[in-house]
Chain A
Amino acid sequence: MTPQLGEAWVYLAASPLLGLTMTLLAYQGATWLHRRSGGHPLANPVLLAVAVLVALLALTGTSYQTYFDGAQFVHFLLGPATVALAIPLYAQFDRLRRMALPLLGALLVGSLTAALSAVAIGGLLGASEATQLSLAPKSVTTPIAMGIAERIGGLPSLTAILVIATGILGAMGASFIYRALKIEDDAVRGFALGIASHGIGTARAFQESEQAGAFAALAMGLNGLMTALLLPVVMPWVTG
């Protein structure tokens, strides 16, 4: 490195500009690839962008903390984006109201399945208790999931990663499951994906249709609520 380039690096490494710009560039590249693949679910934009960023940070020896100092501005927008989900939800208000009982039934089944099957499979394959408890809220949107993990004795920061992985897996796999089960109603497709895969599933559902997105957003909110209420009661039973 020339001295000037070295100085530029010293400046960039300490400023939030680099982390923020890298995040946006990685996302642009990921969405470009996603579009080039014809919107294929396996070319998931979150997965692609994260893979590129982790590789870049490892190569340049940059710590996550330094990166996050810049990326936090993007992270912050999760709050207002969650509030904004009220708008597509309102657009589906009539259909939601007519389907209230079926939706609640599916929510109860989905919420319990998401938590209990994850803990059971993890336990059977020898995951430690802290890991099992961190797995339990994996289908819930990140901020609620971290709160639940803390309350039931899991590791909140591990839960955050498992939540994101669950979101990516659901967004990648849902269309194959729906094809096998012949699920064609956009409302059902969105709602089930929102229960299992929260915001990342919701992002995927919005790519299918506005209606699928709205039902996914509703499922994400309701499942957050349901899991926050159920797990602190149910988990002591499960782990003994």
Chain B
Amino acid sequence: MIGAITLLLVFQLLGEVIARTLALPIPGPVIGMALLFAALALRGGPSADLRDTAQGLLQHLSLLFVPAGTGVMLHYQRLSDEWLPLAVSLLLSTALTIGLSALVLRLLIRRSAGPKDAS
């Protein structure tokens, strides 16, 4: 487990260094993810240790958003001033994005899989 955590941190560190030296708009961990993905493709897959550690961490992904979410208490004033446009915008826009993305993806998959019944 410690080996796997070390590996994840090393890739995150590489990602941060690349993002900062090249002044990329992408955060370091996302670059770290891309690098690890490339390494896995070269190596032919993760070790059992890395797979188990990743699974353990991702199973509790929700937990990791709790500290930032609690920051809602810092914005009490603006949220109470503008709660209506914010609430309606978040609700409708999120529903629209999920529905539209899913419909477009399903349509495009059907088209690329079976050109006969797409016409």
**Cα separation A83 to B19 with both chains bound (whole Å):** 14
Interface hits, B42-100 → A, CB 8 Å:
45-46, 50-51, 53-55, 57-75, 78-79, 82, 84-86, 88-100
Question: With contacts A64-B70, A106-B101, A196-B94 known, is A131 near B78, CB below 8 A?
Answer: yes
B96-115 near A? 1/0 per residue, CB < 8 Å: 11111111111011011000
**Cα separation A157 to B102 with both chains bound (whole Å):** 30
A39-54 near B? 1/0 per residue, CB < 8 Å: 0000011110110011
Interface hits, A152-184 → B, CB 8 Å:
157-158, 160-162, 164-170, 173-174, 177-178, 181, 183
- What's the least CB distance linking B31 to chain A, in Å? 9
- What's the least CB distance linking B1 to chain A, in Å? 12
Q: Is A12 an interface residue (CB 8 A)?
A: no
**Cα separation A53 to B68 with both chains bound (whole Å):** 11
Q: Is A211 an interface residue (CB 8 A)?
A: no
**Cα separation A80 to B64 with both chains bound (whole Å):** 11
Chain B residues at the A interface, C-beta cutoff of 8 Å: 5, 8-9, 11-12, 15, 25-30, 32-34, 36-37, 40-41, 45-46, 50-51, 53-55, 57-75, 78-79, 82, 84-86, 88-106, 108-109, 111-112
Beyond contacts A27-B62, A83-B29, A160-B71: 10 other A-B pairs, Cβ-Cβ < 8 A, are: A58-B73, A75-B67, A85-B54, A85-B58, A88-B54, A122-B89, A173-B94, A196-B97, A228-B25, A228-B26
Chain A residues at the B interface, C-beta cutoff of 8 Å: 23-24, 26-27, 31, 44-47, 49-50, 53-54, 57-58, 64, 67-68, 71-72, 74-75, 77-90, 93, 99, 101-103, 105-107, 109-110, 113-114, 117-119, 121-122, 124-128, 131, 135, 138-139, 141-144, 147-148, 151, 157-158, 160-162, 164-170, 173-174, 177-178, 181, 183, 185, 188-189, 191-193, 195-197, 199-200, 202-203, 206, 213, 219, 221, 224-225, 228-229
